[in-house]
Chains A and B, each alone.
Chain A
């Protein structure tokens, strides 16, 4: 593979992939916050 094809493939897919992956993580955080809210934890600790 020539240098430019290599470089541009890495640059475009690398940058795009990083952006996409971090966006997935932001969605993941929002989901985790919804699935495991603080209120539920406080209630379960109070029961104990």
Chain B
């Protein structure tokens, strides 16, 4: 009993006595993510659980990511099996409104340009010495779409999941800071002042119901590896538009999405252990992610300029910046930039069309990439 007491007391301070520099640094990173989420409201739904997960997993001897650890269980059940991002897609589908796109379908092409960063960053990552599948996971940050990035990364490079997810979600929340400069750099004052006419075209209910079914069949038959992604988004949207399964639609956009977002965030935070996260590759991935989103925006604006030229000045090239998947942030940025140069310019609905195109575009880009990789046998 005499010797047991000091031993038991020593066990109380095991966390502190085993705290290394790496763990201490990661605790600060976790606190920084919490600060950004709570104080600045940068993607708080994700950054709060990610930040807290990073705190929990870097406490020495707590063992949350060890064999029987609770966070390891979440990670293996939801991330490695790809279940969490897939469930999130159903919720996204239930929330997405294709109306602006159905009214103005030609704008969808801007959603393709907004994916350019994925492929250019993939080439950059290869040039920097990343393996082929790692480069794919890094490039997908350019999709500007958290669940897509997580789905692809957990499939091909799960060891990069923490860096890729943190980059994807952080840059998505930084869109209002990143995009305006690029938009101004690539457009003339005259182009920024272009007023686009309102597109108000009634869309039948049948069109809205058939659209998700037609898209699923078309996309899945061409790029079958992407069926889980596109299929789940369109299932969510069909539940919304059909109007006959209100309970399922409500559960998808509320309960399921909320529960999965919490577990997904915690699981990603749990991958941020000092020994895995504090590497040069993480810094390189964060830089490459930033480049990807800059390239996406630039490509969107440049295609917008081309469309403006071909339409003889009827399209404001600024809406090209909304061709990324960050919804509805980038559409709002476009509206604000348009208003800054011309008070009569109301670009929001056009930018929303491009933004919805970007959401579909990011999923399609991932689907095509997954099918190509399978075809190449990598």
Contact = CB atoms under 8 A, between A and B. Distances in A.
B122 A7 contact: yes
B364 A41 contact: no
Contact of A9 (B113, B120, B211, B372): B372
A43 to B, nearest CB: 11
* Interface size, B (range): 35 or more
B122 A19 contact: no
A4 B126 CA distance: 8
Contact of B376 (A9, A26, A27): A9
Interface stretch (B72-80, B213-221, B281-289): B213-221
Contacts of A32: 102, 207, 210-211, 214
A37 B204 CA distance: 6
Contact of B368 (A18, A25, A27): A18
A36 B210 CA distance: 9
A21 B368 contact: yes
Interface of A is mostly: helix
Interface string B91-132: 000000000011001101101110110111011001000001
B210 A10 contact: no
A46 interface: no
Contacts of A25: 105, 108, 215, 218, 360
Contacts of A8: 123
A15 to B, nearest CB: 5
Contacts of B223: 17, 21
Contact of A3 (B126, B204, B372): B126
Contact of A1 (B106, B112, B378): B378
B344 to A, nearest CB: 28
B365 interface: yes
Contacts of A36: 204, 206-207, 210
A24 B365 CA distance: 14
Interface in B330-378: 357, 360-361, 364-365, 368-369, 372-373, 376, 378
Nearest to A4: B126
A20 to B, nearest CB: 9
Contact of A7 (B135, B210, B365): B135
Interface in A2-46: 3-4, 6-11, 13-15, 17-19, 21-30, 32-33, 36-38, 40-41
**Which among A1, A22, A32, A37 has the greatest number of chain B C-beta atoms within 10 A?**
A22
B203 interface: yes
B57 to A, nearest CB: 33
Nearest to B299: A15
B214 A14 contact: no
Given A7-B135, A22-B360, A26-B105, A15 B119 contact: yes
Contacts of B369: 10, 14
B243 interface: no
Interface of B: 101-102, 105-106, 108-109, 111-113, 115-116, 118-120, 122-123, 126, 132, 135-136, 201-207, 210-211, 214-215, 218-219, 222-223, 357, 360-361, 364-365, 368-369, 372-373, 376, 378
Given A14-B119, A15-B115, 12 more contacts: A10-B122, A17-B372, A19-B113, A22-B109, A25-B105, A25-B360, A26-B105, A28-B211, A32-B102, A33-B201, A36-B207, A41-B206
